[in-house]
Structure 1
Amino acid sequence: MPRRSSADITRRALLIGLSAGGGAAAGWVLTERLGSGPERPRRGQSAESIAERPYTPPEGTVRVLEPRRHFYDEPGDTDGQTFGDLYLPDSANPALPVVVLIHGGGWKDALGLTYLENHARDLASFDVAVWNIEYRRVDSGGGWPTTVADVCRAVDHLTEISALTGDRLDLSRVVVAGHSAGGHLALWVAGRARLPSSLPGARPTVPVAGCVSLAGVADLLMAERAGDRYVHDLLGGAPDDRRQRYVDASPTSHLPTGVPVLCAHGRDDKVVLPEQSEHYVRMARQSGDDARLMILDGEHDPWGDISGDGWHRTREPLLAMVRTPRAPAEPPVSPARP
C-alpha cells in the first residue's frame, strides 16, 4: 500500500474526524504511518520493565495532552477510516493502562469517533491512556466481517503505538469499552482470544484484561427478532438467508471469554433492549465467566453527558478494572501483515 501523508487524507476521513464536535480536532496531530522513515520502531515491550517502574499516582485528575492520530492502515481501506486518536495524561506515569473506546451508531457511517471524544478526555484525566478508534462501517467499506476485523486490528496496533511512546503503555492492562454497536464490538474483542481461526480477530496480539459494554448488542438473532433495523445491513441479509452469520457474529456464541465483563444498560432503552445485557451476563456466568450487570435509569445513552450520574457510575468500575494489577504478560508479537 503506498505511503499516505496528511495531505492524502480523503475528504471523507476529514469529515469523520471533524463532525459532531470537531472543535477539538484542530489540536490533532496527524502522525505518519509506521515504517515510513529509515528506522522502524521496535515492537512489543518487556513485561519485566513495565512491572518494575515505580510510580505514585496523582491525587485527583491531571491535565490531558492534545490527542494524536495514528493510522493502523487496514488493507483495502481507500477512505482513510482505519485510525484512532490517542489521549495521554500529562503525568510522569511510566506504565499507563489503556482504555480502548469504540463508538456505536448501528455499525453505519452516520457517527464517528468524536461521539466519544469527551469520554476519552475524561478517562485520560484519571491517569490512563485512551485509544479512541475509528473503523470501516456499513455503506463505507465495512460490514461483516470487515468492521469486526478493523476493530481487532486497531486493538493490536497498540503494540506499535506503545513503541512510539517509549513503551509507556502497559499492554497487560488493556480494557475495551463500547456503546451500542460499539458494545457489540467490545464484547467481540473480549472473546477473541478463544475464537476459531475462521473468525475475524482470532489469535490476538493484545489480549484485553476486561470489557465494559454500554447498551451493547450481544445476540444478533435476538436483536433482529426484537426489530433491530441495523443488524440486517451489517450481516447482509435476514436470518433465513444468513443464519450462520447471525450465530457467528454474536458474542454470546463464543463464551466463555475468560475476561471480566461489565454490561451496563439503560432501564428504558428502546433501541437496544436491556434483555441483551441481561442475556449476555446470564450466559457468561453459566459458562464460568466473571460477568456483571448494571441497570441504570435512562434510555439508550444515559452516559452521553459525562457530568451526569450515569457516566460517573459506569466510569468508576471501568477505571477500577483497568487499574487492577495483572500478572506480567509475555511480550506481544505483531502479526504478519498480508
Structure 2
Amino acid sequence: MPDDAAVARDAAEQDSAFAHPAVRPDATAAYGEHADQVVDFYAPRGAADRAAPLVVVLHGGAWRAPYDRAHVSPFADFLSRRGFAVASVEYRRGASGGLVPVQGGPVPAEGGVGSAEGGPGSAQGGLGSAEGGPGSAQGGLGSAEGGPGSAQGGAGPVAGRWPDTLDDVAAALDALPGLVRTALPAADPHRIVLTGHSAGGHLALWAAARHVLPESSPWHRERPAPLRGVVALAPIGDLRVADELGVCSGAVRQFLGVTGPGGDAGDADALFEERRAHADPAVLLPTGIATTVVQGRTDIVVPQAVSEAYADAAAKAGEVVGLTLLEDVGHFPLIDPAADACAVVAEEIAQLAF
C-alpha cells in the first residue's frame, strides 16, 4: 500500500493536471452514431511549410464512463502548440452504475456521465466543466474521496464495455484517414503517432497490435496500422500483472466483462484468459511498430511494474520497446501541460513523428 506521503503527492499531481480548463477543439467529426463515437481535432499552431505530423490521443480513466476526453483536452492543445496536428478519440466506456455479470457485457446507465443525455464530452453536453468534472478532486480517479479507482470506492462504475470499447477504438482508427482529410487538412496522414495515457495507453498499444490478433478476431487487421510509432504513457500494458496488482480497483476484470455478483470463479478465470488473448498488449507481440513507454517511477495508480512487465514481454517476443522512466514523477504529470514530464512526452512523440 502507498504511504501517506505518496498518496498526498499523487493527489497534488492529479489536482494540477485537472486544474486546466477544458479546451474546445477546432473541429469534431463522428465515426459512428453513438454520442461517444466522435473525434476532436486540434489544428497545429504556428506557420508551417508542410503538413504537420498527426498525434492520435486516447484518453485514460480506467475505461470508466465518468472520464471522457475533456480531461485530456489541455494535453491535446499542448501538443498542437508544439506543432502537431491532434486527433483526440472518444469511445464508449463503462456504465455509470452496477457490475458486469460474468457472462455478459455491462448495461449502459440511463443518463450517465458521458452519455447521450448531456454528460461531459457528449454530443449535447460539450466539454466537461471545471467544477467537479472528470477526474476532479471530488471523487476523481485514484483520489481519496471514494471515486472510481479509489481505495474507498468499492467496485464503482463498471470499467469498459465488452466488446464496445474495443469496437470503437478500432472503428475510429479505421475511419481516421477519411475524417482527417475533411476535418484537419493540415495533418499529414503519413506521419501518425499513437499515444494514450493509462487505460488509453492500453488502448494505444492494443490498436497498434491488431494485425497480431487471431484472424478470427473481429478486430484483426491484415497489415500493421500505418503508424510512425506508439508512445504509451503509464499504460495498463500487461493485463495479467495489472489485475494481480489490483490496478484501479479491479478495472481490468471489469473491462474484460468477467466480474460481478454470482457466477463461478473458475468460469470467470477461464473467460478472463479467453478475452485477454484478444485484448492484452503483452500477449499481442511482436508488433514491428516502434514503441516507447513513458512511466513515472512514483506512479501509484499504474505502478512501474506494469510497464516493466510489458517491456519484458516484448523482449521475450524479440522486440525492443523503449522504456523511459522519470524520477519523482507520478501518474498525472505525463498529461499535465504545467509539468516538465509533459514536455518529455512531447519530445518522445517528436522523435517518432519528425
After TM superposition, the score normalised by the length of structure 2 is: 0.68
1:145 aligns with 2:160: no
Kindly state the Cα deviation for residue 205 of structure 1 after the two structures are TM-superposed.
8.8
CA distance in 1, matches of 2:219, 2:229: 16
Q: Is the 8 A contact 2:23 2:74 kept in 1?
A: no
1:50-70 C-alpha deviation (Å, 9 max, x unpaired): xxxxxxxxxxxxxxxxx2111
User: What is the distance in 2 between the residues matched to 1:268 and 1:255?
Assistant: 27
Tell me the secondary structure at the aligned position of residue 283 of structure 2: helix
Residues 55-90 of structure 1: CA deviation (Å, up to 9, x unaligned): xxxxxxxxxxxx21111115xx3xx11001111124
Please tell me whether the aligned partners of residues 36 and 91 of structure 2 are also in contact (alpha carbons under 8 angstroms). yes
Could you tell me how far apart the structure 2 residues matched to 1:294 and 1:197 are? 33
* Partner Cα distance (1:231, 1:302) in 2: 23
Matched, 1:283 2:313: yes
Find out whether 1:236 has 2:254 as its counterpart.
no
Superposed CA deviations along residues 14-35 of structure 1, whole A, max 9, x for unmatched, are xxxxx9866533xx5xxxxxxx
The question of 1:223 aligning with 2:223 is answered: no
**Count of residue pairs the alignment pairs up:** 261
Structural mapping, 1:83-98, within 5 Å: 83-90=38-45, 91-98=47-54
Q: Deviations over 1:82-134 (max 9, x none)?
A: 00111112434442211000111110111111111111111112222100110
Give the SS at the match of 1:251: coil
- Cα contact 2:256–2:276 (8 A) shared by 1: yes
Q: CA deviation at 1:166?
A: 8.1
Q: Is the 8 A contact 1:70 1:83 kept in 2?
A: yes
| Match 1:302 to one of 333, 337, 341 | 333
* 2:37–2:92 CA contact under 8 A, matched in 1: yes
Larger mean Cα displacement after TM superposition, 254-263 or 163-172: 163-172
Q: Does 1:248 align with 2:263?
A: no
SS of corresponding position for 1:285 = helix
Could you tell me which residue of structure 2 aligns to residue 103 of structure 1? 59
Q: How does 1:1-338 map to 2 (within 5 A)?
A: 24-25=23-24, 28=25, 67-73=26-32, 77=34, 80-90=35-45, 91-139=47-95, 141=108, 143-164=161-182, 168-203=186-221, 206-228=225-247, 229-238=250-259, 239-242=268-271, 243-296=273-326, 297-323=328-354
Same amino acid, percent of matched pairs: 35
TM-score by length of 1: 0.71
Contact 2:59–2:68 at 8 Å: present in 1 too?
Answer: yes
CA root-mean-square deviation: 2.3
How big is the shift at 1:209?
2.1
Give yes or no for contact 1:188–1:251 (8 Å, CA) kept in 2. yes
Aligned to 1:45: none
The answer to which of 125-134 and 136-145 deviates more is 136-145
Amino acid in structure 1 at the alignment position of 2:39: G
Any idea what SS the aligned residue of 2:309 has?
helix
- Secondary structure of 2:23's counterpart equals helix
Tell me, what secondary structure is at the counterpart of 2:333?
coil
The answer as to whether partners of 2:44 and 2:186 remain within 8 angstroms in 1 is: no
Greater RCO between the two (CA within 8 Å, min separation 6)?
2
SS at match of 1:211: strand
